[in-house]
Amino acid sequence: MTTASGVLTAGLYLSSGIQNQVTQAQHELDAHIASGPDGRCLNCGQDEPCSRRQEAVRAFARYGQLPRRRPGLARVRPSGNRTGGLGRR
Ligand SMILES: [Zn+2]
């Protein structure tokens, strides 16, 4: 539900200022979610979870929000050296 100045999300009213911070946190999270084979953030090079990702997660927690997950963004590494890791259930 959208009003003139904010969004009602799961019963919580978010002012447009807070909404902007949540949106910003989502951008930060998206930018710092992927890590390379050495376990470091592909964006800033820190060990994951990097400080900017942690900051974004804290922002979501502060406002009682959950980040949106985008399939494929985390670039989950397939375990190539194990047989049957992905196909078998
Ligand atoms: Zn990072």
Q: What is the pLDDT of residue 73?
A: 75
Can you list the alpha helix ranges (DSSP code H) found in the chain? 16-31, 51-62
Q: Has this prediction a pTM greater than 0.85? A: no
Residue 29 contacts residue 35 (beta carbons within 8 Å): no
Short-list 60, 26, 31, 58, CA closest to 46: 31
Ligand 1 centroid from CA 34, angstroms: 8
Residue 48 contacts residue 41 (beta carbons within 8 Å): yes
The pLDDT confidence band at residue 71, using thresholds 50, 70 and 90, is: confident
CA 41 to chain centroid: 13
In the structure, ligand 1 is a single-atom ion and the residues with CB under 5 Å from it are 32, 41, 43-44, 50, 52
Percent of the chain with pLDDT over 70: 70
pLDDT (mean) for 27-34: 95
pLDDT of 85 strictly over 60? no
Ligand 1 centroid from CA 76, angstroms: 16
Ligand 1 centroid from CA 74, angstroms: 12
**Which has the higher per-residue pLDDT, 64 or 2?**
64
pLDDT (mean) for 23-45: 95
Q: Please, which residues have CB within 8 angstroms of residue 15's CB and are 6 or more apart in sequence?
A: 5, 6
pLDDT (mean) for 59-63: 93
Q: What is the pLDDT of residue 72?
A: 80
| Backbone φ/ψ region at 75: left (φ over 0), alpha (ψ -120 to 50), beta | left
Ligand 1 centroid from CA 18, angstroms: 22
Ligand 1 centroid from CA 53, angstroms: 6
